Structure 1
């Protein structure tokens, strides 16, 4: 085992800068998505602060440990598609029941990681159908972005304009991330308009997370466990693993799956959604510098996450005091690239009919037998593809067979 002092020798300004940018991305729009989903679902400020604490503090510890252990940037946060999935469920399922589904999802992922069966699960459901479900749950955030122009035009305008200008200038965007600039411009506009309404009493407070007693119900388990596991393993972890592999790293798939499950078991008792290997943050951490030293950026972003988690009540109150149009715009702008990717993946090749059925069922947001639409979207999408696009399944089956042996568990996987 390398000496503990090695990270200090490997660390440098490039890796610190990448860590700060990755952290700013994680603590801006993704947090706004949590607040948007939670506020719409009736969660209290204390519930939201506890969620944010666990999402940052627990996952920050995992990020530090895994980045140091595997000597590569491995940033873990929480699943954004999974967060969005929770929104509709909150309308007809109690939060303790959702916590029970979080625990079941964590247990399922931990078992898949230990047994090495994760690749079979990742190949079992066609990606176009999965992404159609993601597009369906993300779409409401795109619509809320449009509504933000109606409800708070100048706030939405001041954020959207710099976002789209910087998005069209990739070189400049590397130094001035569009989402971060949009957040700053929006905050300045809110301040100038006098639209910031802080709550009575002190703003600053350290975290005092809540512990939730889970309830296990079949409607919540059926509605959330499989969709959550699929979004973590296929959408989130799949993206993160692909990004790190393209950067020359060798991410340990089974170990990542196991720690996502184990981390989800811990974060669930504080009311937070499942842990995942994040794609955008890892892309930033692996974007520059020497490959063998990039793990220090992962350690750094984990340390920053610990600090944010400990001050979660302060940042929760800060964002909740902003106008609804600010939160809606920030969340909507963050979702736009992912929404575009979801549509492109869903309708750019095979399984297009099943993807269309999945999208339509998910968008309706009508629960059947007290089970939410995203689950039924996947079910009916798969059924439609099996009836109309059966030939599209054959390559996926053969791909699973070819890759099973390669992804069998290895005791020394690093």
Structure 2
């Protein structure tokens, strides 16, 4: 039993520590105030924790949930709106689309049918500017950034699982040391759910809501199902997708963006390291869910800490956390030699952060990639016919 509890706690703490700063910075980038960002982080923690407990208990399999890390990266990179109400509208629409995916199998097939090079190149383009931030931070604030990078490199060499949480801890220490104690008096320290009414701006829905849905499905939910399958579990798609979509839609009013299946941390709870008996591993994800609810109580403290930091340092820490995801996305995008031009074109458009007609580069990258995919598609060769006798 202790082994199961430990696996759940470690997975939740690792998931939280690895990317909470990215979540707070991403919400801030689309117009959230520190109070609204703390509310969003709290809502995400509670919703994904409750989902994990309820669905793991219901189906007796290790179903674990997380916020969309690629989605948070999209928020940080998009700069789509300074009006948080419009961003909330995009969050709500994204959640509704996830619900529809669970209820309407054809939509799910359409999303999973997006060619892997195209989806991976879009994700790589979103992550690239963030992953460059450690280099920029090393020049702008070397006394803060270089120790964080050193911690990440050393842990990545000797204890890879703890590299990202260790870098985030080093970042927190660096911020606390440089900012003094003034941030501890920030009124946001006590997190409360702050409701924000949604506004439905067509431009923001196209440039933020739709890409958020796509990167969450392609970058989180699909890999999440794959992880569970790898360990011998058959996760029920409809309850998972409808549950995460409803949670995302409800949470959007409190500033939360997207809840989805966990992928990387799911392996900690669904794998044999959590318990030799696969039938008992659901207790690890149940424990992980409870841990997330408790971690949500620290949302205000974490938000105040991020607000006290130079923005480039937070982006740099996020970039270190996302390096692995960037490598995976690039390798996947360029794996098929026949579609490398399509993939690299999609990547370049998305990474350029260009905006046209007020719509962000993630959408235009998909458009350019889709057009090139159709242009370069080779016609099928005719089937050989049997020789006449």
Q: TM-score, normalised to structure 1's length?
A: 0.84
Match of 2:233 among 249, 262, 269: 249
Aligned residue for 2:168?
183
Q: 1:313 aligns with which of 294, 300, 303?
A: 300
Q: Report the aligned-residue RMSD.
A: 2.2
Q: Distance in 2 between matches of 1:87 and 1:142?
A: 12
1:150 is the counterpart of 2:150: no
| 8 Å Cα contact 1:156-1:326 kept in structure 2 | yes
2:103 is aligned, of 114, 117, 141, to 114
Superposed displacement of residue 378, structure 1:
0.5
Residue by residue, what CA displacement relative to the aligned partner does 1:260-296 show, whole Å, maximum 9, x if unpaired? 2111111111111111112111011123112111111
- 2:259 paired residue among 275, 286, 307: 275
SS of the aligned residue for 2:356 comes to coil
Q: Which of 343, 348, 351 is 1:363 aligned to?
A: 351
Confirm or deny that 1:328 pairs with 2:315: yes
Deviations 1:204-257 (A, max 9, x none): 844211111111121112222321221122220111111111111111122221
- Whether the aligned pair in 1 keeps the contact of 2:80 and 2:359 (CA below 8 Å) is no
Q: 1:377 aligns with which of 342, 352, 365?
A: 365
2:335 aligned with 1:348: yes
CA contact (8 A) 1:196 1:321 kept: no
Structure 1 equivalent of residue 127 of structure 2: 138
| 1:165 to 1:390, Cα distance in 2 relative to 1, 3 A | farther
Match of 1:69 in 2: 58
Uncovered stretches (5+) of structure 1, i.e. residues with no partner: 1-11, 393-414
Residues 92 and 48 of structure 1, relative CA distance in 2, 3 Å threshold = closer
Equivalent residues of 1:23, 1:281 under 8 A apart: yes
- Secondary structure of 1:351's counterpart equals helix
TM-score, reference length from structure 2: 0.89
Deviations along 1:163-211, one digit per CA (max 9) or x if unpaired, are 2233234xx445xx112222334444555x5444532636784421111
Matching residue of 1:20? 9
Instruction: Count residues in correspondence.
Output: 376
Once residues 188 and 76 of structure 2 are traced to their aligned partners in structure 1, the CA distance between those partners, rounded to angstroms, is: 28
1:156, distance to aligned residue in structure 2 (A): 2.4
Structure 2: any 5+ residue segments left out of the alignment? Answer: 381-389
- Report the Cα offset of residue 352 of structure 1: 1.7
Q: 2:24 & 2:163 partners in 1: Cα distance?
A: 21
Task: Return the match for 1:217 from 170, 194, 201.
Answer: 201
Task: For 1:270 and 1:189, locate their aligned partners in 2 and report how far apart those are by CA, in whole Å.
Answer: 30
Partners in 1 of 2:156 and 2:102 — Cα distance?
Answer: 37
Q: CA deviation at 1:351?
A: 2.3
Cα displacement (A) at 1:146: 1.0
158-167 or 343-352: bigger deviation? 158-167
The equivalent residue for 1:29 is: 18
